[in-house]
Amino acid sequence: MKVTLKDVAHATGLSVTTVSRALNGFDDVAIDTREHIMAKATQLGYAPNLNARRLKTQRADAFGLIVPNEDLRFSDPFFADLLSGVIDQIADYGLELNITTPTEKDAYLELYLNYIRSRRVDGFILVRTTADDPRIALLQDHNFPFVAFGRADETADFSFVDEDGTDGFRQAVDHLVALGHRRIACIAEPRTLTKSRQRVQGYIDGLMSNALPVDESLIVEGRFRQRSGRESTEQLLDLPNPPTAIVAVNDLLAIGAMSAIQDRGLTVGKDVSVTGFDDITLSNYVSPALTTLHMPAHDMGRQLCQNLHKVITSNGKERPQTIVVPKLIVRNSTGPV
């Protein structure tokens, strides 16, 4: 049933060595022997047994992606698009993507350790990096290739793909200030997440550069996605002096905020302006369409792979760092006061 190198060797009357070298494109095989071998191989339906190859070459030809199970994960469309880019690029490289998640009993870090030791992957793609991420320390200790989605801090000397969230939020605040807004609130995720922290920083920078006061009561942090967006907004609208604009750290929070505003009979873009972050497909299809910061999620996914690939092929000498600056897309959820 299964066709091996030996079978092809028999069928062609050549040695296993020669067949192997021919199929792998070495130049010390005569041109017509190569062709003969190739023809026979496809005729027999030969495909190399990857486990044997991996054992011998000590490479897995695979990247690993361990998704945290503590949060909503894929329910974030941005992450979904990012993943889609990762998969496309990996397929282009002819590699595999190995996705897993810690089970309850697994210690998180143990799982990484096990993956390293059992040689299942050549490198990791790290998502949802936090400040002082222990995974990064672990991987660096073991000198194991990886690329992070998001910096842990500003002095990172490893490869990553990140966004300039701070710049993005400054753009959003500038846009709202230009429209005449003075009381601008911010809906954030927990600040342990690098991503959220950077964006909030941009919010604060934006206010300050426009000479506006920073009012801590206008910054609310929620754990969940749409739900938080709605609840946080209700909380903000209940303030004695409610904001006229809300910047949310991602589109889902923004959409939750919009629904809370509309449920009170207010009009988004008129009574209260709202901005998001990520520019997920949906943000163009809610009503009113959402003003947001565009991030090329799919491309960033590809970039992650490219960077990791470079780290591995350069044997750790290169550690490419990519920073993407978001672009403000003005739609109808923001308007003059």
Query: What is the contact surface with a copy of itself in residues (CB under 8 A)?
Result: 2-3, 45-52, 54-55, 60, 62, 67, 69, 72-75, 77, 80-81, 83-84, 87-88, 90-92, 96-103, 113-114, 117-120, 225-227, 229-230, 252, 255-256, 258-259, 262-263, 281-282, 284-287, 289
- Three-class DSSP category at 324: strand
List the one residue from 10, 11, 25, 29 that touches DNA (CB under 7 A).
29
Answer whether 154's CB lies under 8 Å from 175's CB: no
Burial degree of 159 (CB within 10 A; 0-12, 13-18, 19+): buried
DSSP designation for 283: G
Q: What whole-number distance in Å separates Cα of residue 252 and Cα of residue 297?
A: 15
Select 90 or 186, whichever has its Cβ closest to a copy of itself: 90
Minimum distance from CB of 170 to DNA (Å)? 51
C-alpha span between 28 and 139 (Å, rounded): 39
Shortest distance (Å) from residue 27 CB to DNA: 7
Q: How far is the CB of 66 from a copy of itself (least distance, A)?
A: 9
Binding at 23: pick from DNA, a copy of itself, none (beta carbon under 5-8 Å per type): DNA
Binding mask 32-51 for DNA (x = CB under 7 A): -x------------x-xx--
- Min dist CB 33 to DNA, Å, is 4
Q: What's the rounded Cα separation, in Å, for the pair 86 and 211?
A: 41
Alpha carbon distance 82, 302 (integer Å): 8
Nearer to a copy of itself (CB atom), residue 115 or residue 146: 115
Q: For 284-319, give the secondary structure using H, E and C.
A: HCCCCCCEEEECCHHHHHHHHHHHHHHHHHCCCCCC
For residue 44, the minimal CB distance to DNA (Å) is 11
Contact call for residue 114 and DNA (CB under 7 A): no
> Which residues of the shown chain bind DNA in the complex (CB under 7 A)?
2, 4-6, 13-18, 20-21, 23-24, 28-31, 33, 46, 48-49, 52-53, 55-58
